[in-house]
Amino acid sequence: MKAIVQDEYGPPEDVLRLAEVAMPAVGERDVLVSVRASSANPWDWHFIRGEPVLFRPAGLGGVRKPKFRIPGGDLAGTVKQAGQNVTAFKPGDEVYGFGHGAFAEYLAVPEDSLAPKPANLTFEQAAAVPLGAVTALQGLRAGEIRPGQRVLIIGASGGVGTFAVQLAKHLGAEVTGVCSTRHIDLVRSLGAEQVIDYTSQDFTAGPAQYDLALQLGGRYSPAAVRNALTSRGKLIQSSGDGGRWLGPLGNIAKAAALSTLTRQTLKPFNAKVTAQALTEVAELIEAGHVTPVIDRSYPLSEAAAAIRLVEQGSPAGKVIVAVESG
């Protein structure tokens, strides 16, 4: 099969290449998916670059070279084969989910990392959903979102933020989104009552007070964001910039230290993409409460460009990698 592979850490355009590789082995609880589309996430470029460096032994899988040779996580496609102990899927089923190695024509995925594809989405639209939508929903719940709260979404126009704005609105919050000038209309169209242009306004210095802030982008420190929270407000961090070596660890440590000195809650968050979470998101999509936002699509051969755009280009919503499988 065709797949994007890497044999060393580095910039996407330098280390990613299209190659012919062996078909994946299918375990007893695995589902072999004929991948129709994937999407690029910040998660991907961290694995491709091997950053933060201190995460390599534990999170990235290899100190000198990547453990996962084929990048990509989000996927949508059709079941080609089901392992002998799989009960939820059969060949021909349309599915979506998350698994290591999605930038390929085929991928063997654990059964509990897949769910039926939302019926009202194309494969490319469905591939935009898994990690972004699940992160948004679980992040808001980690902050114990409630109807009527004032919620701030930092990075509101990104791959997770576009879902977070819609979900927070659906859950009854008064939503304020933070984004750049060119994405203001988009964020407002997704349901945000207020939109802050970070290029001209510093929300951390303003008078507004929020019950919950979900940080999905930007270089704001926990100390800065807490200035915009109520006295018992909550900051849920799903991003952070600590450089090549530390990544988000710096902000996580700062948040932990500050939490001991205040009644505010400041904590990091990592999503877990499960069949249950994917099924819940699919129900919200089919009910019309959430719609994926797609910036653009690249063919599998140009996956490096998709990753580079997510890493440096501030796309509106998700960037798709279209896969042609047999």
Task: Quote the tokens at residue 268.
Answer: 């990091």
Q: Are 234 and 213 in contact (CB under 8 A)?
A: yes
Instruction: Give percent above pLDDT 90 in the chain.
Output: 76
pLDDT band of 206, cuts 50, 70, 90 = confident
Task: Go through the domains of the chain in sequence order and give each one's CATH number.
Answer: 2-129+292-322 (3.90.180.10), 132-268 (3.40.50.720)
**What local confidence, expressed as pLDDT, does residue 49 receive?**
85
What's the confidence (pLDDT) of residue 208? 85
> What single-letter DSSP state applies at residue 198?
T
Confidence tier at 5 by pLDDT (50, 70, 90): very high
Give the mean model confidence (pLDDT) for residues 198-211.
93
What are the angstrom distances between the C-alpha of 11 and each of 6, 45, 113, 191? Answer: 11, 8, 28, 36
57 — pLDDT class (breaks 50, 70, 90)? low
* Tokens read off for 26: 């299918």
Query: What DSSP line would sit under 234-296, residue for residue?
Result: EEEES----HHHHTTHHHHHHHHHHHTTSSSEEEE------HHHHHHHHHHHHTTS----EEE
Instruction: Kindly indicate the confidence band of residue 246, based on its pLDDT and cuts at 50, 70 and 90.
Output: very low
Q: Determine which of 118-127, 162-171, 222-231, 284-293 has the lowest per-residue pLDDT on average.
A: 222-231
Instruction: Give the largest CA-CA distance in the chain.
Output: 59
pLDDT of 4 over the 80 cut: yes
pLDDT in tens, 101-117: 999 999 999 999 999 99
* pLDDT value, residue 47: 83
**Is the bond leading into 52 cis (omega within 30 degrees of zero)?**
yes
